[in-house]
Chain A
């Protein structure tokens, strides 16, 4: 039975994936926004999804252990800074390790405050975000004064990390052998749908940084650790019912510390990825709320690795489009309108009057926007990932269920 259920889940995922590409290619033809399904967009979407996936995995480990981690943003900032600082001195790989370490240091502060001292999780997390931003600015200013950094908001450049693609399909290079690039050549043929699909696949599998591959592999690995090992079972039990876990001999404090520290390491790696792979140096405000978006992706994914991957991909795609081509965002408005009309129809069927009116009004607003402007102004396009987060959360959040004890302070012996 279980095996069967899994297969159908897999099949559903594949159908949804190709369905989305099909819708996008229809919109592409209707509006001429060719960047919707281009190799570059798919590639950029993957690149921009990775930090969000890592942040979301970080959130997953912490929340499964019962600790809400709003401090992901601050830990990513520390990771990005450490990546730029150590990476420019000792090379990119050392930079990434330093990023993980610094993220975990930020998490240790969060763990001490929330687990040992029982401080409110959101309060401690927000405090860490404020402190992390100030701390890296302080040290960067000193480094810039000393002349080793070009400025207080930017680190020296970091060497790039190597990249490779899938053999045969995407033109990878193995031991000096240059494989053919089948997906790319199909993509250039401009056959409807088939070319779209191969362009997207080419973007997702070609010229990947090794860190991207590691990051994507961390998703199934996290699933395995959390759901298939006794460590994972213990960790999740402290997030669902710490008192029951304690009574069965699980050391709740230790498990929670593990969850938060791993969480910080993931967040730090996400920050380091932004500094070293997505850019080639650390820059102030580089994180730009991705820690929070990661958290939102985790909520959207219902506290599961597969779900958070889908959420991160959505935000990565929105982010890639807004960075590459604002005309494509304009075309995407059609999709949003269709989506909103669907939502309004659904809430109409359920008899929710206000929700129906809100959805129709929003759809009308976007339709007016689509007709009135040929192109979206740059400042508005930057809002895309945040708006996507808001819309998706408000549509999805009622069916979601997180760990029962997430966010509650725990004290051994049931004391307050």
Chain B
């Protein structure tokens, strides 16, 4: 393959444009409240690039990444699973409840929890999948409605059936997982690699699972027959059907598999940190993950970078409170990155098409 600087420049153009645009928007919103953007960004960088903050960012990114993979899987099949939020919630709740009930040796216990979470998440997504395939209901609407239903259902189950009383606390929480059901931290490994221990820091062991999932996602979607059928039924359902792909079946499988992966997305926190499900457990992950999947263009590497970026912004912006800036600034940054990136990708795609047709026209002239 010949090295083409123009092609690489085009590929980088969209993310760079998005980053610059987001800097401008967030600077403008800071200036509007009479704050110095330079001071704010410098402080964020200083705090955010510390080892402790980076570890926290990685931990946040682990959940985001798994959830983003779930969404990307449906995007690749031409679908949109907005229901990750609900699938994650129910998957985590049932995993926490039944995980604390069963007695198993260490590795098997975690495996069992994985299976419970994936089963529940997949089952919840199967409702939307069934409605899509059999009744023609748009999965966009049905998964959003199922999010609200999952919110009510999980609150009900937690407060009426799954909750245990904790001495001196008003928190609604499930029974904590026993040690065999907790995912070991990566800190001991990192220490051997020369990373110093941070107060309150640590890296979830689930990071490894997330990386494996990412690799598996890339392999299955891009290198297997199943992945080809999935993508073709997304890109052109009619062509897919003509070439023998059962696009209804692919729709069903894609949504259910997505739900199963989404069920896992709450586990980094559950198995690595809280060890029990509480009322406000990891709210909003499913929606942030949509942004990450869009920003990362549904590619395993792209989503990993975006997940890290979002995690970094979220952690680093906490320090802004020190200089009296609302920490919610990160939402503005994430939002403007998302919107400008989505537009920039489309502009670049159109420009590439124009270049192609010019090249074709030239070739035709000869």
Contacts and interface: CB of A to CB of B under 8 A. Distances in A.
A139 B340 CA distance: 21
B49 interface: no
Contact of B141 (A126, A295, A377): A295
A135 B331 CA distance: 7
Interface string B124-160: 0000000100111110111011101100110110011
B294 interface: yes
Contacts of B80: 122, 126
Contacts of A119: 342-343, 346
Contact of B149 (A123, A293, A386): A386
A131 interface: yes
A390 B131 contact: yes
Nearest to B160: A377
A326 to B, nearest CB: 12
Nearest to B338: A127
A117 B350 CA distance: 9
Interface in B311-356: 324, 326, 328-329, 331-332, 334-336, 338-339, 342-343, 346-347, 350, 353
Interface in A112-132: 112-113, 117-119, 122-124, 126-128, 130-131
A394 interface: yes
B98 interface: no
A380 B152 CA distance: 6
Contacts, number: 129
Given A113-B343, A131-B339, A296-B141, A397 B136 contact: yes
Interface residues of B, number: 46
Interface string A93-119: 000000000000000010011000111
A390 B149 contact: yes
Contact of A382 (B142, B144, B152, B290): B152
Contacts of A416: 353
Nearest to B329: A138
A130 B342 contact: no
A142 B346 contact: no
B33 interface: yes
A77 interface: no
B244 to A, nearest CB: 24
Contact of B137 (A292, A379, A393): A393
Contacts of B338: 127, 130-131
A382 B334 CA distance: 31
B153 A380 contact: yes
Nearest to A295: B141
Given A119-B342, A119-B346, A292 B287 contact: no
A313 interface: no
24 contacts: A117-B347, A122-B80, A127-B294, A127-B335, A127-B338, A130-B338, A131-B338, A134-B331, A135-B335, A137-B331, A138-B326, A138-B332, A141-B328, A142-B326, A145-B324, A289-B144, A296-B145, A380-B152, A383-B148, A386-B149, A394-B131, A394-B135, A394-B142, A397-B135
Given A117-B343, A355-B134, 15 more contacts: A109-B339, A127-B339, A130-B287, A131-B339, A134-B328, A134-B335, A138-B332, A142-B326, A288-B148, A289-B144, A292-B144, A386-B146, A397-B136, A397-B137, A397-B138
